[in-house]
Amino acid sequence: MFVQPDTVMSMDEWFCGGPINSGIESRYPLGASTVFVTNRHRITSIAVIVHERHTIAVLGTSTGHLLKV
């Protein structure tokens, strides 16, 4: 669903299940392992892409820096 940039939404609409933030579900649990730990930065955003056989994560910090993992 497309939401106009100037649309006013309540706090409840921004959480999972809202029109622009649908829930994530799976039939099978995913495995995970720690690949990056830092005490120097507070991570505030993450974007992930798969390129060929590599998974690349770009992490945004509270100071405006980007970290590529």
**Helices and strands, number each (H, E), in the chain:** 1, 3
Cα–Cα dist 44/66, whole Å: 10
18-42 average pLDDT score: 75
13-39 average pLDDT score: 69
Check: CB of residue 50 under 8 Å from CB of residue 57: no
- pLDDT for residue 63: 92
- pLDDT for residue 3: 57
Is the confidence at residue 2, as pLDDT, over 70?
no
Is the confidence at residue 5, as pLDDT, over 70?
no
Is the confidence at residue 18, as pLDDT, over 60?
no
Q: What is the pTM of this model?
A: 0.50
The token duo for 68 is 């590529």
Residue 14, SS3?
Answer: helix
